[in-house]
Amino acid sequence: MTDLTSFIAGLPKAELHVHHVGSASPRIVAELAARHEGSSPVPADPELLAKYFEFRDFAHFIEVYLSVVDLIRDDEDVRLLTYEIGRELGRQNVRYAELTVTPYSSVRRGIAAKAFCEAIEDARTAAARDFGVDLRWCFDIPGEGGLPAADQTLRIALDERPDGLISFGLGGPEIGVPRQQFKPYFDQARAAGLHSVPHAGETTGPETIWDAIRELGAERIGHGISAAQDEQLMAYLAEHQIPLEVCPTSNLRTRAVADLDEHPIGRLIAAGVPVSVNSDDPPMFGTTLEQEYATAARLLNLDATGVAGLARTAVRHSFRTADGKATLLAEIDAYAAAQR
Ligand SMILES: O=c1[nH]cnc2c1ncn2[C@@H]1O[C@H](CO)[C@@H](O)[C@H]1O
């Protein structure tokens, strides 16, 4: 039996909560910073960049995140970033990923919506061909952009409708950004067949999660960790099988939790809440999906069988086709059996 680290490395995985720009590796950020030399506070040097990715609080994280968004200035940057994300996911044996993409931020930067969508679709085709990674898109509203951002994000989703688009989300800060105002946009996105996957309960309490369910028709919740403060909400999530996309290291690095050993993931699972493990913005948080699995294994006291269960759970919570799920579940089972 190989050790858990190598078991995790080889395990076929699915990722459901990982942000497009938030996945820009230090190498890609350096390349983009060099392309736009001198016009960005983002350091090109990897050492300085690691320091730059240390956050005082969540608001500071969003500020840093937006400074990296600012580096993506044309469709070539979009194509490079997305293809390289595919490479990194393939390196970790991620077979399927639902990437949260924020077209509003790039269109505001002057990249035409059509060119943006063509660039991510080109990269999706190339990542499947070159790395065996099946990418899908969640288009998310950056909450700090308010209703103008919601309107533009919905327009792009419905007018451009790239082949990989499967869901509609809401990210950015929750404090001061109530979920209810986005109901008309989620209603239209859902009517058009997109799955609803807003962030909620990351930096605010359980009421934000209730709002995401009642007002936005959430089928899954980004983070949702404050559900652990509300027994009734956890029972509801368990009964209606509404999964949480939990990102442990993100919560630590944005100060959403003070200490990993206090992370509520164990309490949520013990209450029957469906939970997948994800990386969110891996290079910004100095982590990878593999490391998130190792962290979850430590927090939940999992052996290899338990870790394979994390991968299976992510596949089951995904919006992949039934055939696509069956194929990946079979691959996970075959891998786990071969490692015994
Ligand atoms: O963990 C996170 N929580 C909320 N928003 C996030 C997170 N990671 C990345 N973003 C992204 O920050 C962008 C700017 O507001 C948003 O688009 C949001 O998707």
Tokens 């390289």: give the residue.
84
What does the alpha-carbon distance between residue 301 and residue 142 come to, in Å, rounded to a whole number? Answer: 35
Report the CATH number that the domain containing residue 180 is assigned in CATH.
3.20.20.140
d(CA 101, CA 163): 14
Q: Average the pLDDT over 250-277 and give the result.
A: 97
- Its ipTM equals 0.93
> Rounded mean pLDDT of 229-240?
98
- Phi/psi of residue 239, nearest 5 degrees: -65, -40
Query: What does each C-alpha distance from 268 to 209, 233, 277 come to in angstroms?
Result: 14, 10, 12
Ligand 1 pocket check: which of 15, 58, 62 to mutate, most ligand atoms within 8 Å of Cβ?
A: 62
- 21 CA → ligand 1 middle, Å: 9
Number of folded domains in the chain?
1
Give the tens place of pLDDT for each residue, 109-136.
Answer: 899 999 999 999 999 999 999 999 999 9
Question: So what's the pLDDT on residue 26?
Answer: 84
What percent of the chain is predicted at pLDDT more than 70?
99
Host domain of residue 126: 4-338
Residue 3 scores a pLDDT above 70: yes
Pick the residue whose CA is nearest to atom 5 on ligand 1.
172
Nearest CA to ligand 1 atom 17: 142
Which residue matches tokens 């029972």?
A: 235
Q: List pLDDT tens digits, range 139-175.
A: 999 999 999 999 999 999 999 999 999 999 999 999 9
